[in-house]
Amino acid sequence: MTSTVLDAVLCLLLVSAAVVTVTTATPQEPTGEGRAGDVASTLTTTTAAVNYTLTPRAGTTRVEVPKRAASYDRTSHGTLAELLARAAVARIEVGDDRLWHARDGYSRAVARAVRGAVRANHTRITAVWRPYPESSVVGRIVVGSRPPPNRGVHAATVETPSGFPTTREVSRRAARSNGVDGVADVVADGIVRGLFPPTRTRIAAGGSSPSAALVSHRYRRVSRRLGITRSPWLADGGVDDANDRLESALSDRIARDLRATNASATSAAEGVRVGRVRIVVRTWP
């Protein structure tokens, strides 16, 4: 089946066709497998559909999640750059610990699609979602091997939407009114709204379907990673309360990260990139 409400709740907010910027830096023009700019252009113009199945890891929380259900089958459409961006967000880590593995199949399907369109030899593609500089919350996917040492590398950079709310302008206002803590609150709100969109989450969490179990499982995974001991109650308006607790815990972590850089609140706000994923293409002879 195609993407459903659960897809949105599981961080697959489908992004529309994006205007992307490609910049190149060429210390040495490579030969053979293709230039980085050409590969970047392929990523932003080639569309694909990837099929995958959600595979939640039972036993990592106390929620009984079915290992297999018809509603777990998915299809995602988009440019290769958009698919890579969604795959990067799907692999979010907090302090080097993955939040969940239910969408590992999606990452593998995207990597296969990219390799089918781009000659993998002499090419490495890295998509990174980093919501602010020096963030301990990050998502990343890599396709291809590392370039060999002593080899000239050609690089190109693409930026495409992450599917999360864009928060830079709001961050600037928060920096002026409440300093670093204000920036941290805005970033945390954007991340939680991206992970658990309130309206879609309320719909998916209702009832006793596999979708509802997955949502509850996912909340508990994130809550545990952020040090929240109280189990979320999602019924009867509980989604808003659960999101508020996640935002508070995440804001504390983000504020610590920002202060560790010794950057001013204004500089911290300028570095906010919740709504963007950076894709770097490297090629070599």
Contact criterion met (CB below 8 Å) for 124 and 255? no
Environment class of 33 (CB within 10 Å of its CB; exposed 0-12, middle 13-18, buried 19+):
middle
Do both 48 and 182 map to the same domain?
no
Q: What angle do CA 143, 282, 108 make, to 5 degrees?
A: 10
Query: Residue 53 forms beta bridges with which residues?
Result: 73
Mean pLDDT, range 245-253, rounded to an integer: 95
**Which region among 10-14, 201-205, 236-240 has the lowest average model confidence (pLDDT)?**
10-14
Mean pLDDT of 14-30: 36
Query: Are 124 and 216 in a shared domain?
Result: no
Report the pLDDT value the prediction gives residue 60, as an integer from 0 to 100. Answer: 64
154 lies in the same domain as 206:
no
Whether residues 156 and 217 fall in one domain: no
Chain CA centroid to CA 66, Å: 24
Quote the domain boundaries for residue 157.
Answer: 5-166+274-283
Q: What is the pLDDT of residue 92?
A: 95
Instruction: Inform me whether the pLDDT recorded for 259 exceeds 90.
Output: yes
Residue 174: pLDDT over 50: yes
Of 11-25, 45-59, 145-159, 245-259, highest mean pLDDT: 245-259
Q: Which residue has the higher pLDDT, 44 or 240?
A: 44
Query: What's the mean pLDDT in 134-162?
Result: 92
Same domain, 33 and 137: yes
Asked if 32 and 17 sit in the same domain, the reply is: yes
What's the mean pLDDT in 259-281?
Answer: 96
Model pLDDT for residues 184-226, shown as the tens digit of each residue: 999 999 999 999 998 888 888 876 677 788 888 888 888 888 9
227 and 181, same domain (yes or no)? yes
- Does residue 27 surpass a pLDDT of 50? no
**Percent of the chain beyond pLDDT 70?**
81
pLDDT given at position 31? 35
From CA 259, how far away is CA 267, in angstroms rounded?
Answer: 11
Q: What is the dihedral of CA 228, 214, 15, 105, to 10 degrees?
A: 110
Q: Are residues 95 and 134 in the same domain?
A: yes
Q: Is the pLDDT of residue 131 over 90?
A: yes
Identify the burial level of 25 via C-beta atoms within 10 angstroms of its C-beta, where 0-12 means exposed, 13-18 middle and 19 or more buried. exposed
Residue 61 has a pLDDT of 66
How many domains does one find in the chain?
2
The two structure tokens encoding residue 45? 């113009």
Is the pLDDT assigned to residue 282 strictly greater than 50? yes
The CA distance from 216 to 208, in Å, is 11
> Average pLDDT of the chain?
83
Least confident interval from 22-31, 107-116, 252-261: 22-31
Tell whether 13 and 143 lie within a shared domain.
Answer: yes
Question: Residues 65-86: pLDDT tens digits?
Answer: 666 666 678 899 999 999 999 9
Buried b (16+ CB within 10 A) or exposed e, 76-92: bebbbbbbbbbbbbbbb
Same domain, 184 and 146: no
Could you tell me where the beta strands, DSSP code E, fall in 7-62?
22-25, 47-53
Q: pTM for the complete prediction?
A: 0.84
Q: What is the pLDDT of residue 218?
A: 86
Dmax over Cα atoms in the chain, in whole Å?
61
Cα dist. 257→144, 250, 251, 252, 263 in Å? 30, 11, 10, 9, 10
Could you tell me how many residues make up the chain? 285
Same structural domain, 135 and 60? yes
